[in-house]
Structure 1
Amino acid sequence: MSNKPIKVIVDFHSKPYGRFKTDAPGCEFTAGEVFRDAHLAPALREFDKVTVDLTGYNRYGRSFLDEAFGGLIRESGFTKAELDQKLVYVHDDLASVIAIIDERIEKAEQDRLTR
């Protein structure tokens, strides 16, 4: 089984910020949309497991997390069942970050099922 680790502050950006790359100057490098499209979704398509380590940054915005993780269902075509099997996400210091991701994935799945 192949596993792809992604450490957000090393592999993506030291200060992830914003939902869309067009939100503000610099968001083309920091936004949840960019993280999802350039790193997360491709890794989920290629590897059996993807472990996203969010540790090291404590100011993740809800919009970044929603677009990066909920957007996997809304924009990238994954289902919650697929994510439950393939995706692991951790933050060693803030359980609230994990709770927000759980909530955003669940909401995106509910929306998908009611379309």
Structure 2
Amino acid sequence: MTFRALCLAPVLAMLAAAPALANTKLVLAQPGPRSVVALPLRVLVLSFSAPVDVAFSDVTITDSQGDPIAAARPQAVAGQPFELAVPVNITHGGRYTVTWQVSAYAQHTTGHYSFTVTQ
């Protein structure tokens, strides 16, 4: 192996791993950011730009006063490694904020958005 090949090997390995080093992004949500939905709301679905590790992911939903609402732990969606489903039971109108933390490619990424529920 030449000196040039020895020097390029680590660079090529890093380039091949580049997608794994990128932050995971929220690409779609139901209900989505700034959306208005009707009661009742039973499930929240979040879709990300990379497969997420459900065991190391968390989703919190708070009402307009900042109080957390009861929600189950995020669950994997069968056959959809990029998605999380969060069972909820939202029965009151108002503005809600979703805060998420997911683990993908051994990195944690966080974010948040809000939506409104009408009666």
Q: TM-score range by the shorter chain?
A: under 0.3
Pick the structure with greater CA Rg: 2
**TM-score computed with the length of structure 2 as normaliser:** 0.26
**Higher helix content, 1 or 2:** 1
**TM-score computed with the length of structure 1 as normaliser:** 0.26
**Higher strand content, 1 or 2:** 2
